[in-house]
């Protein structure tokens, strides 16, 4: 779930570019009636983001696994500090913050389809098509698809604006590589 750092965006064809968000990387699992959220460390985030769990519970699919980023908007920007404030032992504080500053899940990959098929071995292009269809079918506030492009100039423009933590580049023909550094992050 980590990207390796690079000094510049790859220029050869076959790359997909997405914003690198300043949030909590999160795998969202739905299995029957249970929803769980996991950080890239493997630790559970479920209790800290009850509004995201509730949102995913409204999706009428028996199962899925999404890869994305938890974000909280504050003053027109995303606030990592607001996310960190959620990691608190008091459930009452978590509930209050969930109501005051709700988190959202921005997704960029689908690892398991609702019918149960494991998508990790498929090329990114196919996984992304499945994810786009899923998000379109289940559109609701708090769940969105990250922007992405194959156009190097567009990605470089996002980077040059200076509003993002960086750009993540993924091979369009590559499988989901767990534990590997298959993505490139440019700041």
Q: Is 49 exposed, middle or buried (0-12, 13-18, 19+ CB in 10 A)?
A: buried
Nearest to 28 by CA among 1, 67, 60, 54: 67
User: 167 and 10 in contact (C-beta within 8 Å)?
Assistant: no
What percentage of the chain's residues is helix, strand, coil (to nearest 5)?
A: 25, 35, 40
Is 136 annotated in the active site? no
Q: Is 106 exposed, middle or buried (0-12, 13-18, 19+ CB in 10 A)?
A: buried
Distance, CA of 103 to CA of 64 (rounded, Å) = 20
Q: How does strand 184-186 pair with strand 15-20?
A: unpaired
Residue of 20, 40, 163, 170 marked catalytic: 20
As annotated, the active-site residues are 20
């Amino acid at each position: 779930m980590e990207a390796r750092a690079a000094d510049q965006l790859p220029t050869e064809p076959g790359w997909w570019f997405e914003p690198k968000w300043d949030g909590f990387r999160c795998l969202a699992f739905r299995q029957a009636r249970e929803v769980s959220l996991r950080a890239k460390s493997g630790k559970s985030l479920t209790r800290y983001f009850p509004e995201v769990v509730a949102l995913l519970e409204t999706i009428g699919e028996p199962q899925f696994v999404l890869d994305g980023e938890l974000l909280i908007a504050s003053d027109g920007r995303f606030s990592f500090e607001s996310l960190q404030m959620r990691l608190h032992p008091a459930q009452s504080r978590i509930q209050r913050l969930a109501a005051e500053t709700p988190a959202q899940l921005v997704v960029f990959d689908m690892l398991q389809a609702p019918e149960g098929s494991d998508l990790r071995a498929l090329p990114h292009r196919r996984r992304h098509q499945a994810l786009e269809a899923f998000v379109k079918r289940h559109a609701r506030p708090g769940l969105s698809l990250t922007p992405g492009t194959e156009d190097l100039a567009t990605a470089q423009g996002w980077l040059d604006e200076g509003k993002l933590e960086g750009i993540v580049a993924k091979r369009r023909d590559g499988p989901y590589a767990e534990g590997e550094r298959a993505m490139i992050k440019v700041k």
